[in-house]
């Protein structure tokens, strides 16, 4: 076994003893798919948005209802204040109901030109818009969820790195302490090494707080009251070079983006509303039938038709407004299309930039950082390197590893951004 391998084994042993064994009741860990399913089932914002769809479907029922008929009852010409001859002739007597006229009429408004059907179609278009808006809200919230999930994985990786760095540094301090006792190094050099340890301790505590904060944000989105100590996530914290072509992602976004679907549905609804406004400018007759008694006629029956004369009000304003609304929604649809392309291109460029930086890290920089750290540390423990060289090598390794983890986190966040721009999980 080489000297570096023995150091690695000793470092792992010291790290285990320093931080203790895992607790007997390990926290429950969730994958991204499990987190997403729990989010869709329990997030209160999504539940509230789903109710708006049900409300819109209820409006479809109201829009298709027929007008109610009107029933009117009348009892007229009652004489309570004087006497009068009866209808059959004779002397005047007090008969207040002798000439009373009871009547009843029933009327119904007949809507022409498919007004009910157009109202229902407009309400159905509104429901389709609500469904698309719900999907768009879910898309944005899923991005927040994915970002919180990535941040949790990133902080877990950073915490593991800081603990590893601290364990490695503790091992080197122990070796330096042995050299101090043997008179191989000065006391001031050893004290400088001890002072440097506070940076590694600070890194561990900062990573712990950041990890806890990320978990709290994730639990907030899940509407979960589980203690942070009993909650964990698991997943691959790495990058992949396999990405779909930009043109393919653009086409997928045009097919899947719910906000674009809502914009297209808004144009269709505006066109339906314009047809409804034109129909509302037409004449709707009211048919009536009445039954009455008119002494000496014991009973009679009559019918009537009431037709409003649309001379001044032909619904001109609403016709013009809905026509303008079509143009407005078409412009909003065009803006939504431009936004889709902008979102996809921006997210793709960010992801590609992160990949450009990550490739040399994985291929070269990480290996070189480990080699430089281990080589300089080995040389320093044997008096072949200065204290400044040793500290600089430790700092370079720490910075390189931390930069790499941050870049991976940025890449995964960019992937989440691209998935949101496309409207589906185009890249896992």
Gyration radius of the chain over CA positions? 40
pLDDT attached to residue 428? 65
Which residue's structure tokens are 């091992």? 171
> What separation, in Å, do the N-terminal and C-terminal C-alpha atoms of the chain show?
40
The conformation of residue 22, written as its DSSP 8-state character, comes to P
If DSSP codes are grouped into helix, strand and coil, which group holds residue 309? Answer: coil
Tens of pLDDT, residue by residue over 229-280, are 999 999 999 988 888 899 999 999 999 999 999 999 999 999 999 999 999 9
pLDDT range class, residue 298, cuts 50, 70, 90:
confident
Alpha carbon distance 296, 256 (integer Å): 76
Residue 34 pLDDT greater than 90, yes or no: yes
Q: How many C-alpha atoms does 37 have within 13 Å on its Cβ side?
A: 5
Instruction: Kindly state the average pLDDT of the residues 114-127.
Output: 95
Phi-psi map region of 292: left, alpha, beta (phi>0 left; psi -120 to 50 alpha)? beta
Do the bridges between strand 286-294 and strand 101-109 make them parallel or antiparallel, or are there none, so unpaired? antiparallel
Tens of pLDDT, residue by residue over 197-232, are 899 999 999 999 999 999 999 999 999 999 999 999
Mean pLDDT in the chain? 88
Neighbouring-strand partners of residue 303: 289
């Amino acid at each position: 076994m080489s000297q570096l391998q023995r150091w690695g084994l000793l470092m792992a042993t010291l790290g285990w003893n320093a931080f203790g064994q895992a607790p007997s009741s390990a926290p429950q860990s969730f994958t991204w798919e499990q987190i997403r399913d729990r989010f869709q089932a329990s997030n209160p914002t999504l539940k509230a948005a789903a109710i708006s769809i049900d409300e819109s479907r209820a409006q479809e029922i109201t829009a298709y209802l027929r007008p109610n008929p009107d029933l009117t009852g009348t009892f007229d010409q009652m004489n309570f204040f004087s006497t009068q001859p009866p209808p059959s002739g004779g002397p005047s007597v007090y008969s207040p109901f002798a000439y009373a006229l009871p009547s009843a009429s029933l009327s119904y408004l007949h809507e022409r030109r498919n007004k009910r059907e157009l109202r229902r179609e407009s309400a159905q278009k509104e429901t389709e818009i609500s469904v698309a808006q719900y999907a768009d809200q879910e898309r944005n919230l899923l991005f927040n969820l994915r970002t919180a999930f990535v941040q949790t994985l990133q902080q877990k990786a950073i915490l593991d790195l800081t603990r590893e760095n601290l364990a490695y540094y503790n091992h080197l301090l122990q070796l330096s302490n042995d050299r101090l006792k043997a008179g191989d190094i000065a006391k001031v050099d050893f004290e400088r090494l001890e002072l440097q340890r506070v940076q590694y301790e600070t890194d561990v505590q900062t990573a712990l707080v950041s990890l806890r904060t990320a978990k709290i944000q994730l639990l907030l989105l899940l509407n979960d009251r589980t203690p942070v100590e009993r909650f964990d996530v698991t997943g691959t914290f790495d990058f992949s070079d396999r990405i779909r072509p930009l043109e393919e992602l653009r086409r997928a976004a045009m097919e899947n983006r719910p906000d674009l679907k809502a914009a297209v549905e808004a144009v269709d609804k505006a066109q339906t509303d314009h047809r409804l406004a034109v129909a509302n400018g037409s004449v709707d007759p009211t048919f009536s039938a009445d039954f009455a008694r008119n002494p000496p006629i014991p009973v009679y029956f009559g019918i009537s038709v009431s037709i409003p004369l649309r001379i001044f009000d032909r619904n001109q304003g609403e016709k013009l407004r809905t026509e303008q609304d079509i143009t407005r929604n078409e412009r909003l649809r065009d803006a939504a299309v431009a936004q889709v392309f902008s979102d996809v291109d921006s997210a793709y460029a960010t992801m590609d930039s992160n990949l450009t930086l990550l490739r040399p890290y994985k291929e070269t920089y990480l290996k070189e950082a480990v080699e430089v750290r281990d080589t300089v540390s080995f040389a320093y423990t044997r008096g072949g390197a200065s204290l400044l060289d040793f500290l600089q090598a430790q700092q370079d390794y720490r910075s390189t590893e931390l930069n790499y983890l941050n870049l991976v986190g940025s890449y995964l966040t960019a992937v989440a951004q691209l998935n949101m721009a496309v409207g589906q999980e185009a890249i896992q």
